[in-house]
Structure 1
Amino acid sequence: MAAYAKACGVGCSGAGGLLCAALVGCAGSAPTPRGEVKGAAASPGELAQSDVNRMATLAMKENLDGLYRLMDKLYRRNPAEWRKSGTASREQAIEQVRTAIEQRQPWGPLQGRRDIAAMGLALAPEFAGDRVAAFIHATADMIITAHGGKTEFFLLDGFDAQHLYNAARNVEIAVWMLAQRRNAQGQPLLLADEIGAQGRNLSYEREFGKIIARIDLLAAVTTEKYRRAAISYVQGIVGGTFLQFLPVR
């Protein structure tokens, strides 16, 4: 270990050498790879999108992908749920729900309910169907509804900031219900986050937190958009009056 410390250029010896080697390490060691940011592929449709439209479209894609990741995680912890769907595998169950969400199809076990009514049924203790599928479908439907019923946005599309804000709060409420509600046997409706002797698993809460944050950011940007439009109008008037070239002849 002393040789390791010397190779690293650390003048430590004895017990101190052990500590130095553990804390300092070699200056030339490469950091642990954490991946890299990747932008979406360019498409002709972007020509009809403002910056806010583009941000909203990317955020929607990430939110839906986040829900699909949550669905996979919930199925892994609650395998009895996907078996209720009648599919042959967890992957098939996920694909079935994904198709229904992206094609804006109703989900049969939700009995025609959409939006927050569907969320309420999916999280009702007496619901007997595939709760994972119902919960993810209902949550996605609520989020899309808050965005005007669309998943892609262009220049003529607008957003209601309050509806977006309400959608973020709805996700927070759903997460709380998921953690607190019990079935008739006193068991959680779905096994998700866990804190116990075996360790901590809060990955579900983190994924939900990302979804909430994206929706809240779009709500804030939407209100800023209208304020900035008014400010730009005033700046244009001021600039038109004071920021003009003067005649020189």
Structure 2
Amino acid sequence: MRWLPVLLALLVVACATRLGRDGRSESTVDLKYLAKTEVDRIADTDRTEVVGSLMLIADKLYKRNPKEWKKAGLSSREAALERLRQRRQRSLPELGGLREGQAAALAFSDSYTGDRVAALMFGLLTMVDAAFEYKEEFYILDGLNETKLFNCARNMDVAVWKLGHDRDPAGELYLLSNAIDGNGRNLSFEREFGRAMGLLDLMAQVVADRNGRGFSRLSQAVVTTIFLPVGLVK
């Protein structure tokens, strides 16, 4: 139950209150809230925070690589971000129907000429969608798979490594991320990826505990530079 303090903290935040007409605080708990277990509520928060981190990373990448969204014929960075937000309703034509790891890998392929930020972030976001069983809210009978969550976390690490190491034939990084500025090395990308990774690892531990399965076997995974499967995990 190492995650219990985090769970309690999230529950405190989740228990919103409002002022009644007499000025006293009243609970806003409703039937939807009562239909959720503690794990459901932490899953809601965890997923929202992970997606938020990835969208922030996408925004940062577009700011550092503005030529990428222009490749898709879009009018602005905001339009490029909106395409990522709408990924559940429509795919990205330039990806040829690819999702998850296959889409993310295109960002570091010399033969790919499309929006590399879109390829990477669409891939990572659809991994998160798959890890959370394509749901945005969770209720008592909903189940999650700790291996999917764990693999998704490891893929964030793979993305960080590729951003810092994968180069085109001319020796240039495919995408600019962390940088060295006047104040030293800027590691904002790594920090945000690390936050998403930590949230996914926490959720994997919570789910493993709820499912009554040991988590130690997952920690034996070998570090790799290849994106691990998420949606195909049983």
- TM-score, length basis structure 1: 0.70
Describe the shift of the 1:53–1:193 C-alpha distance in structure 2 as closer, same or farther (beyond 3 A).
Answer: same
Q: 1:126–1:183: 8 Å Cα contact kept in structure 2?
A: no
**2:47 equivalent to 1:60:** yes
**Partners in 1 of 2:109 and 2:33 — Cα distance?**
41
Task: Show the counterpart of 2:203.
Answer: 218
Q: Which amino acid aligns with 1:202?
A: L
Task: Show the counterpart of 1:115.
Answer: 100
**Partners in 1 of 2:164 and 2:157 — Cα distance?**
11
Q: Which amino acid aligns with 1:127?
A: Y
Describe the shift of the 1:49–1:204 C-alpha distance in structure 2 as closer, same or farther (beyond 3 A).
Answer: same
Q: 1:125–1:181: 8 Å Cα contact kept in structure 2?
A: no
Q: Secondary structure of 1:95's partner?
A: helix
Offset, 1:85: 2.1
Offset, 1:199: 2.1
- Which structure has the higher relative contact order (CA within 8 Å, separation 6+)? 2
Gaps of 5+ in 2: 1-11, 17-27, 214-234
Task: Show the counterpart of 1:171.
Answer: 156
Q: Which amino acid aligns with 1:108?
A: P
Task: Show the counterpart of 1:7.
Answer: none
Q: Number of paired residues?
A: 190
**2:34 equivalent to 1:47:** yes
Offset, 1:38: 6.0
Task: Show the counterpart of 2:80.
Answer: 93
Offset, 1:119: 1.8
**Partners in 2 of 1:217 and 1:121 — Cα distance?**
29
Q: 1:122–1:138: 8 Å Cα contact kept in structure 2?
A: no
Describe the shift of the 1:146–1:91 C-alpha distance in structure 2 as closer, same or farther (beyond 3 A).
Answer: same
Offset, 1:73: 0.7
- Structure having the higher helix fraction is 1
Q: Which amino acid aligns with 1:49?
A: K
Q: Secondary structure of 1:166's partner?
A: helix
Cα displacement string for residues 128-149 of structure 1 (whole angstroms, at most 9, x for unaligned residues): 1111112111100011112222
Q: 2:100–2:122: 8 Å Cα contact kept in structure 1?
A: no
Task: Show the counterpart of 2:142.
Answer: 157
**Partners in 1 of 2:127 and 2:40 — Cα distance?**
19
Gaps of 5+ in 1: 1-36, 229-249
**Partners in 1 of 2:89 and 2:160 — Cα distance?**
23
Identity of aligned residues (%): 39
Task: Show the counterpart of 1:203.
Answer: 188
Q: 1:82–1:90: 8 Å Cα contact kept in structure 2?
A: yes
Task: Show the counterpart of 2:109.
Answer: 124
**Partners in 2 of 1:87 and 1:191 — Cα distance?**
20
Describe the shift of the 1:160–1:91 C-alpha distance in structure 2 as closer, same or farther (beyond 3 A).
Answer: same
Offset, 1:159: 1.1
Q: 1:119–1:139: 8 Å Cα contact kept in structure 2?
A: yes
Give the alignment's Cα RMSD to 1 decimal: 2.2
